[in-house]
Amino acid sequence: MNVIELKGIKKTYHLEKLDVPVLHGIDLTIQQGEFVAIMGHSGSGKSTLLNILGLLDKPSEGSFKLAGIEVSKYSDDELASLRNHYLGFIFQQFHLLSKLTALENVQLPAIYSNSKDEQNHQDPEKLLNLVGLSDRITHRPNEMSGGQQQRVAIARALINKPLIIFADEPTGNLDSNSTKEIIGILKDLNASGITVVMVTHEPELTAYASRTIRVQDGLIISDEKNADAAEIKEISGAKDFKHKAFSFSRIKDYFLQAWRSLAGNKMRSALSILGVMIGVASLISMLAVGTGAQKAIEDQVAGLGSNLLSVSPGASQRGGISSETGARMRLIPEDIADLRKNVRGISKISGYANGRAQIVANGKNYNTRIEGVSVDYADMRTSNPSSGRFFTELENSNKQRVALLGKTVIKEIWGDSTFNPIGEYVKINRIDFQIIGVLPEKGSNGFRDEDDKIIIPLNTAMYRVIGTQYLNNMDVQVQDDADMNEVADNITQRLLFTHRMPASSLDAVRVRNMAEIQETMNSMANAFSLLLGSIAFISLLVGGIGIMNIMFVSVSERTKEIGLRKAIGANNADILFQFIIESVFVCCAGGIIGIIFGSAISIVISKIAGWTTAVTLSSIVLAFGFSAVTGLLFGVWPARKASLLNPIEALRHD
Ligand code: ADP
Ligand code: MG
């Protein structure tokens, strides 16, 4: 039975500018059980021929039958599977993986074999025993001599019970004692029925072979039988070599390899994880700040009700140039009563005069915000006191010194926000005020603590504390939503009339609908989130490019390993997955740490800056998803590059 049948095999290497023809038409038939030695000068094409025989390289022309199957048209993956199941390789440079033990090196081809059937594999320990290395099972290649390494390589070639073993100058790097041992092992294997094809330039080794072929300038120039070949056995029925990409051992190996590579380059892995971590952390924290701002605005505006109008002095002067009509109205307390009386449809109205003041009470000094408001404020802004009472219209018109305190103020002065201060006195800008109520708790609105303030009657505030004749603004509650626009127009006209301004100077006063304000604020918050999000996204992108860079380094560093893995049967998908898993792992690790870190940052931001931040599940999912996708996207390119390497080119890489 012909285990190998070559007809008219030609091989031309295509270099950048020239074609190098190496094999010029080789016809060769090898029978099962033969021990063939290939001899020839350096550069005559021996390795090229052996690589083609071993399906590591494809001929440019010609027909190749392996165990009766025409293989010259097979795909890369099918060839990988054939190599894995039918062929064993022994290289001059051993090509053991330095991070694996002898045992793991021997097991390697079994990982890429599809058959679950134990009968198709040999026991790796028995094989190491067979090559005389039973005491070196857990040694790594750098702890072994050249001869020992080559014996590990032989054991590796045997693990899947190959039909043929190819050896390219297996003793080329060995001393004469090791050479004898290795050749002895090959001879024994041949005696057990395995076909051996060996390239050598040591003439004395041909004595072990049953047949010697001489190659010169890409042609076979002689072919001699040395002795009768060992008893030729029939090939057992061709094994099934259908390509099946997934098996548990393969997937386990992907993760193991990814882990080994990361653990073997700790600094590099840590830096790439750091890159992703920074990206994810900034994504999380920036989204948290953005979402927080949005939520704060929503909360604040939701409490206002939609039938509110805000009345404020007209557009302020821009750069010293007053607005078109020139004038800017100044609102006075009398406007409040006048509007209530003369504009129909108003249900409530409150004026505002704000300022900051130094307060003293309980021996403590504190600086806070003073808001002078009208009586209607309590209902309009849902600020009915949680204990005590609001002030009355009489107290307002009499400019009486009564105050309602926010929880934060109470906490700052009495050290306990649950303290009941009603009846106590507080000095506001050195004037004694009696505390008549405590304001309901409102929390932070994202930019300001709404509980850090004192409310006093509007007139008291204007004339006794702040010292102003004018209001900052007014809030008007309209009875019926449908009348909003009409009421707004009437307010403008009435104010222009009472302030003796021309009816055309609409710019002098600004009446805005709360719904509009709400919308403006929301769209601002949205823009803010988007801006922050895109900055964070860019940093994630930079992290991703860092990963790609590191993956490229990893690929080129391990090109030899990739070549070896492919030579023993790994297919393109195996290599692709191994590298993708590595980069996805880096990104996921960076992602998880980044999520933790980003959440911590947003908590710190909310503590230090007093902003509301909200880390939402969706932002965590988004950040994690992004980092995983980054790993995938930026890992695919280098991984693909690795997977497409030709095994022989890759093995030659250094
Ligand atoms: P041998 O093993 O007999 O020493 P090889 O088969 O390695 O010879 O090489 C035969 C010829 O092919 C040499 O001239 C070598 O330079 C050339 N060659 C081998 N591999 C390549 C390649 N990948 N690209 C271009 N030329 C190559
Ligand atoms: Mg060679």
pLDDT for 652? 85
Residues 383-402: tens digit of each pLDDT: 889 999 999 999 999 999 99
pLDDT surpasses 80 at 475:
yes
Mean pLDDT, range 513-530, rounded to an integer? 79
Alpha-carbon span 279 to 623, nearest angstrom: 9
Ligand 2 geometric centre to CA of 43 (Å): 7
Ligand 2 geometric centre to CA of 87 (Å): 19
pLDDT surpasses 70 at 141:
yes
CA-nearest residue, atom 12 of ligand 1: 22
Contact 161, 65 (CB under 8 A): no
pLDDT for 318? 44
Task: Extract the tokens encoding 592.
Answer: 């998880």
CA-nearest residue, atom 19 of ligand 1: 48
CA-nearest residue, atom 13 of ligand 1: 43
**Exposed, middle or buried by CB within 10 Å (0-12, 13-18, 19+), for 237?**
exposed
Alpha-carbon span 455 to 369, nearest angstrom: 9
Architecture of the domain made up of 2-243:
3-Layer(aba) Sandwich (3.40)
pLDDT surpasses 80 at 633:
yes
Alpha-carbon span 434 to 443, nearest angstrom: 24
Contact 29, 6 (CB under 8 A): yes
Ligand 2 geometric centre to CA of 651 (Å): 13
Residues 524-565: tens digit of each pLDDT: 878 887 888 888 788 778 878 887 888 888 888 888 889 999
135-147 burial by CB neighbour count: b if 16+ within 10 A, else e?
Answer: ebbebbbeebebb
Q: Which ligand sits closest to the CA of 649? A: 1
pLDDT for 302? 66
pLDDT for 323? 46
| Cα distances (angstroms) measured from residue 247 to each of 110, 111, 250 | 11, 9, 5
Contact 167, 198 (CB under 8 A): yes
Residues 341-378: tens digit of each pLDDT: 999 999 999 999 999 999 999 999 999 999 999 999 99
pLDDT surpasses 80 at 517:
no
The most distant pair of C-alpha atoms in the chain lies apart, rounded to whole Å, by 129
More confident of the two residues 326 and 437:
437
pLDDT surpasses 50 at 455:
yes
CA-nearest residue, atom 14 of ligand 1: 43
Ligand 1 geometric centre to CA of 20 (Å): 9
Choose the most confident range, by mean pLDDT, from 49-63, 476-490, 610-624: 49-63
Residues 286-312: tens digit of each pLDDT: 888 888 877 777 776 666 666 889 899
Q: Range with the lowest mean pLDDT among 297-311, 382-396, 411-425, 484-498? A: 297-311
Alpha-carbon span 178 to 181, nearest angstrom: 5
Ligand 2 being an ion, which residues bring their Cβ within 5 A of it?
A: 47
Question: Ligand 1 pocket by C-beta < 6 Å: which residues?
Answer: 13, 15, 20, 22, 40, 42-48
Every domain of the chain and the residues it spans: 2-243, 263-300+520-651, 330-500
Work out the pLDDT band at 99, boundaries 50, 70, 90. Answer: confident
pTM over 0.75: no
